[in-house]
């Protein structure tokens, strides 16, 4: 019996890649509901498979199922969403047949709040497909929100340079990597973010007597 490519996409992406080398036409196939291998790879967080399908086998990243939904509607991790939007150029504002964006549908279903938050971006705006992770922005810097209880003052580049401050690319890289992790919204992920921010401002420990203004819900 021939292997089912959709099952392989879920359980054995390496075997699927071997199958595609033998029969490349399978890459762009869809089942009776329009479900594609791109949908499957994104849903099961098989990111190398996802990249290969789009880049090597030229499967349209915006391929839709019978409900007019792209792979972004089935992602379960921020990491997969970022690959689709930032690396592969999928428009996060694409709507399904009911007029919903992926962010709106995921938010309504309530299963993956971190994904919905990433796609929504600051102030409820859907992330743009231009390589800018809007869902992680802090004052337009591309950094995620700081932990509760920490006050950050943002200035222009000219102001920062005037004060002898220079952006730290390594810190930016580390904090964006953390923000892409699936556990970013958990207490552990937020604690690690707090440690990174503390390190960036000189290793000061944030205590109860620190003059900060708690975030107002």
| Residue at a domain's end among 74, 109, 135 | 135
When the pLDDT of each residue in the chain is averaged and rounded to a whole number, the result is 76
pLDDT single digits (tens) 136-173: 433 333 444 444 444 444 444 444 444 455 556 776 77
Whether residue 172 sits in one domain with residue 89: no
Per the structure, the count of domains in the chain is: 2
Specify the CATH number for the domain of residue 7.
Answer: 1.25.40.20
DSSP letter for each residue of 42-107: HHTT-HHHHHHHHHTS---TT---TTS--GGGG--SHHHHHIIIIIS---TT-B-TTS-BHHHHHH
| Residue at a domain's end among 113, 135, 157 | 135
- What does the DSSP 8-state code read for residue 183? T
More confident residue, 122 or 52: 52
Whether residue 213 sits in one domain with residue 170: yes
Question: Which of 67, 21, 59, 19 is CA-nearest to residue 42?
Answer: 59
Where in the sequence is the domain holding 33, given as residue range(s)? 1-135
pLDDT single digits (tens) 63-122: 999 999 999 999 999 999 999 999 999 999 999 999 999 999 999 998 899 999 999 875
Whether residue 163 sits in one domain with residue 116: no
């Amino acid at each position: 019996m021939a292997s089912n490519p959709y099952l392989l996409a879920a359980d054995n992406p390496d075997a699927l890649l071997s199958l595609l080398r033998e029969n490349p036409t399978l890459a762009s196939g869809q089942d009776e509901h329009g479900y594609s291998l791109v949908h499957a790879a994104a849903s099961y967080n098989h990111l190398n498979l996802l990249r290969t399908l789009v880049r090597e086998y030229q499967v349209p990243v915006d391929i839709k199922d019978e409900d007019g939904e792209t792979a972004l509607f089935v992602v379960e991790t921020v990491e997969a969403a970022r690959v689709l939007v930032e690396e592969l150029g999928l428009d996060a504002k694409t709507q399904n047949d009911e007029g919903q964006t992926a962010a709106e549908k995921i938010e309504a279903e309530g299963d993956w709040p971190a994904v919905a938050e990433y796609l929504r971006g600051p102030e409820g705006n859907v992330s743009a497909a231009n390589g800018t992770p809007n869902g992680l922005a802090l004052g337009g810097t591309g950094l995620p929100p700081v932990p509760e209880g920490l006050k950050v003052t943002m200035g222009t580049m000219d102001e920062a340079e005037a004060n002898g401050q220079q952006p730290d690319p390594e810190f930016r890289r580390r904090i964006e990597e953390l923000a892409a992790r699936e556990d970013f919204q958990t207490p552990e992920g937020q604690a690690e973010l707090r440690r990174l921010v503390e390190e960036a401002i000189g290793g000061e420990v944030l205590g109860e007597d620190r003059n900060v203004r708690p975030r107002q819900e």
